Chains A and B, each alone.
Chain A
Amino acid sequence: MIKKKICLIGAYAVGKTSLVRRFVSGIFSDNYLTTVGVKIDQRTVSVDDREVRLMIWDLAGRDEFQAVQKSYLRGSSAFLYVIDGTRRETLDAVREEMAEIAAEYPRMTSALLVNKHDLVDDWEITEDLLAPFRQAGFLVLSTSAKTGENVAEAFDEMARRMLGDDAGAQEN
């Protein structure tokens, strides 16, 4: 079976762990329990009749005390950047993170998930703020770990793109 490593990156409390729990276990809790260190979950998805085991690395959110440990990113096939639609500053934080990571992994399959779409009335992230990411080729999706909106779609699409990258690499 093909194994692919995906890392979730983003500021604290944007919902990275909740997205993984929703995708892997189909559950959601409103209680916020901050992640310390790393937790790896797995789920197998099908892409065009091929099975792909996604190794999902849920990394502790960046804050004033800690940045993402870059060694955790080694061997990744995709990065899922996650921001909280209700907190504009999480976009600024992820931009910084992207700039640092892109220097080391310039062509990585990446997506930007704007989470907490169930709270869309309180969103501070507008479409014009996301346009540059779309233009740069990012898959940009509004997600909700609470309702499940676009969660499986995001991981499935990443799996598809990772396999596409492999095919492209083989053709070259």
Chain B
Amino acid sequence: MSEASDSAIRGQALNAMGVLVLSRQEHGEFVEIDPVPAWWKTVFGSAAEFRGRSPFLEDFAEGAAAEFWDSADEGEGTLPSGIWEETTGETVSGRYFFEAIAGRGSGGESFLMVMPADDRWQREQGFTQNAHDQSLGKRRLVKELEKKQILLQCIMHDLGNPLSTVLMNLQHIGRQLDDHDKVLRPAVRRAVVQAERQRELIRSIAQVFAADLVGASHSGDPGAEISVNLMSVAAETIAACAQAAAERGVTLCPFFSGRLFVVGEPLPLSRILENLLINAIRHSSQGGQVTIAFEEEERFAICRIEDGGPGIDESVIDRLFQPFSQGGDMPGQSGLGLYFCRMTIEMWGGSIVGSNRPEGGACFEFRLPLAISANASGKSNGEAETSS
């Protein structure tokens, strides 16, 4: 193939790509190599004019590129400029993006390629904008949650402290009253019960919303894996609920399996189990049974708590895990227990459902992801662990 035909092919290729090539001459001036794209004249004028029109291209051609061309390091190579923006003023109004590449040929020839970069800019801008928006959004969310945490703590403090004082004084009055006082003593006892119920409600609200806030701020961040032995926590919680079951004449029937590490933390997990067990005990009749069963299914551990009570009212079954939802006639309950269970379990990547058993009674079943690393490492002490 002849040199002329090589040159023609190169010209056609550059034309197809919309690339302008400037050849750098001995004294630093540039000469356009044919073909010259139409945008070059519109935006930059000519090889003689581009310095006056584009401060960036002038800076690149006389700065970094000139240093590259004149460097002692002989041989082929290129130096990219990065993307820059040009705006045209009087004749054609618009934004244009370009990039330039300074090149050095094998024979020592210096050239400058200039090409439109609108597509590349659009891709990079879209990607970067998305990343920045996400990062700023996450930051805003975390700040908002921090403010809510502080607000929550203030509210809890302002509600809880006066109540503690009221309770302390009621207990003091109760101790001072004669055992035979038939009027004041029952009244004080009722007041103490109400105050303690109020304190429990505040505690529930604090726990639920703290878990909610922490859960939201942790979402999307895989972070460190926290794990806990479900069997060990369940055994402790069942033992703690045994007295309440005995008082109602209900038998707790756990079916423990071997060690089972799940994603979670001991205290909230214990609170979840306690909520579900106390619910089941409360709805069981004298002489009834509450069974607690565990199993492993694929990557999840399942805990199922079943009672023989009247079951869940079908009218509330869909919103059972919503805040302030109550499953039946349960005076004095906050309606936050099951909401807390759902929030916490979902925060750990699990799920919880409530249903009625065909044979009667309710069944609450939660699933938690197995803590792979803890199960594999053969932890046997039932302690929570944190691994990164």
**Chain A residues near B (Cβ < 8 Å):** 5, 12-13, 32-34, 36-40, 42, 55, 60, 63-65, 69, 71-72, 74-75, 87
Task: Name the contact of B82 in the complex, choosing from A33, A38, A40, A64 (C-beta under 8 A).
Answer: A38
B130 CB to closest chain A CB (Å) equals 9
A68 CB to closest chain B CB (Å) equals 11
- Chain B residues positioned under 8 Å from A65 (CB to CB): 128, 131
- A39 to B96 CA separation, bound complex (whole angstroms): 11
B63 and A39 within 8 A (CB) = no
Task: Name the contact of A36 in the complex, choosing from B128, B133, B136 (C-beta under 8 A).
Answer: B128
Is B132 interfacial (CB 8 A cutoff)? yes
A99 CB to closest chain B CB (Å) equals 22
B85 and A38 within 8 A (CB) = yes
A40 and B55 within 8 A (CB) = yes
Closest residue of chain A to B98, judged by CB?
Answer: A37
The 10 closest A-B pairs by CB, nearest first: A37-B83, A39-B85, A71-B64, A38-B84, A36-B125, A34-B129, A40-B55, A36-B124, A74-B63, A34-B132
Is B44 interfacial (CB 8 A cutoff)? no
A37 and B128 within 8 A (CB) = no
- Chain A residues positioned under 8 Å from B63 (CB to CB): 71, 74-75
Task: Name the contact of A63 in the complex, choosing from B83, B97, B121, B132 (C-beta under 8 A).
Answer: B132
- Chain A residues positioned under 8 Å from B139 (CB to CB): 87
B121 and A36 within 8 A (CB) = yes
Is B236 interfacial (CB 8 A cutoff)? no
Task: Name the contact of A55 in the complex, choosing from B55, B82, B121, B133 (C-beta under 8 A).
Answer: B55
Q: Besides the contacts A36-B83, A38-B84, A71-B63, what 16 more A-B pairs have beta carbons closer than 8 Å?
A: A12-B128, A32-B136, A33-B125, A34-B128, A34-B132, A36-B128, A37-B82, A38-B85, A39-B85, A42-B55, A60-B128, A63-B128, A64-B131, A74-B59, A74-B64, A87-B139
- A37 to B83 CA separation, bound complex (whole angstroms): 5
B125 and A34 within 8 A (CB) = yes
Closest residue of chain A to B62, judged by CB?
Answer: A75
Contacts A13-B136, A42-B55, A75-B63 given: A33-B83 contact, CB under 8 Å? no
B132 and A12 within 8 A (CB) = yes
**B window 83-110: CB within 8 A of A:** 83-85, 97, 99
**B window 228-256: CB within 8 A of A:** none
A158 CB to closest chain B CB (Å) equals 17
- A13 to B124 CA separation, bound complex (whole angstroms): 16
- A72 to B57 CA separation, bound complex (whole angstroms): 11
- Chain B residues positioned under 8 Å from A38 (CB to CB): 56, 82-85
- Chain A residues positioned under 8 Å from B131 (CB to CB): 63-65
- A55 to B97 CA separation, bound complex (whole angstroms): 18
- A8 to B84 CA separation, bound complex (whole angstroms): 15
